[in-house]
């Protein structure tokens, strides 16, 4: 097994791509072991690179977009086109259904998304 530390965003992207390719690995296989190790490395890199516990909900959504390659169109598919634009520009607060949709699809912790945050005036 040739695995190296994740030290850059490019390393991170490559590891995430490999995780996706290994997602359906057979239980107790070398591929599943590789998946577990890569997931641990990615998780640690993301915790250091994008410390989500310090982010407000909009920053957390933006971090998820950046780290996972999601786009505004992806967010719009979850919450609606106009709402996505308004959320990212801080003109609309997240609703509970939006929080649930984003958390389920992008694995952003709900405890981060429910935090109060400043809206634009």
Q: Which distant-in-sequence residues (6+ apart) come within 8 Å of 85 by Cβ?
A: 72, 76
Q: Rounded to whole angstroms, how far apart are CA atoms 20 and 50? A: 20
- pLDDT (tens digit, 9 = 90+) per residue, 49-78? 777 667 899 999 998 898 888 999 999 999
H or E segment and range at residue 85: helix 81-88
Write down the residue that tokens 């912790």 correspond to. Answer: 109
Given this model, what pLDDT does residue 92 score? Answer: 95
Looking at beta carbons, which pairs linking 50-56 to residues 24 or more positions away fall under 8 Å?
Answer: 52/108, 52/109, 52/112, 53/112, 55/112, 56/115, 56/117, 56/118
Given this model, what pLDDT does residue 67 score? Answer: 81
Per-domain boundaries in the chain: 9-49, 53-113
**Apex 24 CA angle, 78 and 105, nearest 5:** 15
Given this model, what pLDDT does residue 1 score? Answer: 67
- pLDDT (tens digit, 9 = 90+) per residue, 78-116? 999 999 999 999 999 999 999 999 999 998 889 999 999
**Confidence check: pLDDT of 19 > 80:** yes
**Euclidean distance between the first and final Cα of the chain, in Å?**
53
Given this model, what pLDDT does residue 78 score? Answer: 95
Query: Counting every residue, how long is the chain?
Result: 121
> Quick one: fold of 53-113?
434 Repressor (Amino-terminal Domain) (1.10.260)
């Amino acid at each position: 097994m040739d695995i190296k530390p994740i030290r850059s965003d490019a390393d991170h992207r490559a590891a995430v791509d490999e995780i996706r390719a290994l997602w359906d690995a057979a239980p107790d296989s070398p591929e599943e072991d590789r998946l577990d190790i890569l997931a641990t490395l990615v998780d640690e890199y993301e915790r250091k690179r994008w410390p989500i516990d310090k982010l407000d909900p909009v920053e957390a959504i933006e971090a998820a977009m950046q780290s996972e390659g999601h786009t505004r169109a992806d967010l719009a598919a979850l919450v609606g086109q106009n709402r996505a634009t308004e959320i990212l520009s801080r003109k609309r607060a997240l609703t509970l259904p939006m929080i649930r949709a984003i958390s389920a699809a992008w694995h952003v912790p709900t405890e981060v998304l429910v935090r109060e945050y400043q809206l634009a005036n």
